[in-house]
């Protein structure tokens, strides 16, 4: 069974792409966490080769692209690590593909079946409502609630601060045991 939200496009790797693929259960989260930063730094540096800097304008462009890749890759990897449903013992991955006028990120992880409904409600709000308003509301809510654990700002910052387009695909990989995999697609225009 499959369900998509937003303008989801299947991953077609093309000529230039990288994929990081790992098991979410092979290392404790505390040890694994540093890899999200390492990976994001690497991805940003790697793709900057395709945007050489030879004057002020191209240098600024390179910096902007590196910054966008670094931030989005880091957030997607942190989300994979935080929200991956470990009992499914299903591998996770982050793919990054370069096209002529954009990058497409694909983050894939198993999700707690009990969390799917709430997540889809949230996704529908992100796609339908004014995300600037949602952003400021979430920030104020976080400040008012001293005990809030997650910031819930990762996706909102991508949309509002980086003008990224987001879409999702949910797939039921297995019924018994129930394993549902979500793919988050992020499009970052060049």
Nearer to other proteins, 67 or 87 (CB): 67
Q: Which backbone phi and psi does 129 adopt, to 5 degrees?
A: -100, 170
The secondary structure of residue 87, as a DSSP letter, is G
Nearer to other proteins, 30 or 49 (CB): 30
Residue 96 CB, shortest distance to other proteins, in Å, is 17
Residue 165 CB, shortest distance to other proteins, in Å, is 16
Residue 1 CB, shortest distance to other proteins, in Å, is 31
Cis peptide before 28 (omega within 30 of 0): no
Helix (H) or strand (E) holding 168: strand 165-174
The secondary structure of residue 69, as a DSSP letter, is H
Residue 149 CB, shortest distance to other proteins, in Å, is 6
Q: CA-CA distance, 79 to 83, in Å (whole number)?
A: 6
Nearer to other proteins, 75 or 111 (CB): 75
Residues that bind other proteins (CB under 8 A): 29-30, 33, 36-37, 63-64, 66-68, 70-71, 74-75, 78, 82, 135-136, 139-140, 142-143, 148-151, 153-154, 157, 160-162
Q: CA-CA distance, 151 to 142, in Å (whole number)?
A: 7
């Amino acid at each position: 069974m499959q369900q998509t939200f937003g303008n989801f496009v299947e991953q077609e790797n093309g000529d230039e792409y990288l994929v990081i693929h790992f098991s979410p259960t092979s290392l404790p989260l505390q040890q694994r966490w540093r890899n999200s930063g390492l990976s994001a730094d690497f991805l940003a540096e790697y793709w900057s080769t395709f945007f050489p800097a030879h004057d002020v304008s191209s240098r600024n462009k390179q910096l902007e692209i590196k910054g966008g890749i670094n931030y989005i890759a880091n957030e997607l990897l942190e989300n994979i690590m935080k929200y991956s449903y470990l009992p499914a013992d299903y591998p996770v991955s982050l793919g990054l593909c370069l096209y002529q006028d954009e990058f497409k990120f694909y983050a894939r992880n198993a999700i707690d079946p009990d969390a799917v409904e709430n997540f889809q409600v949230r996704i529908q709000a992100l796609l339908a409502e004014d995300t600037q308003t949602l952003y400021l509301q979430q920030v104020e809510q976080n400040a008012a609630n001293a005990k809030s654990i997650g910031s819930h700002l990762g996706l909102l910052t991508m949309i509002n601060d980086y003008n990224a387009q987001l879409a999702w695909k949910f797939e039921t990989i297995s019924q018994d045991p129930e394993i549902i995999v979500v793919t988050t697609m992020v499009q970052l225009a060049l």
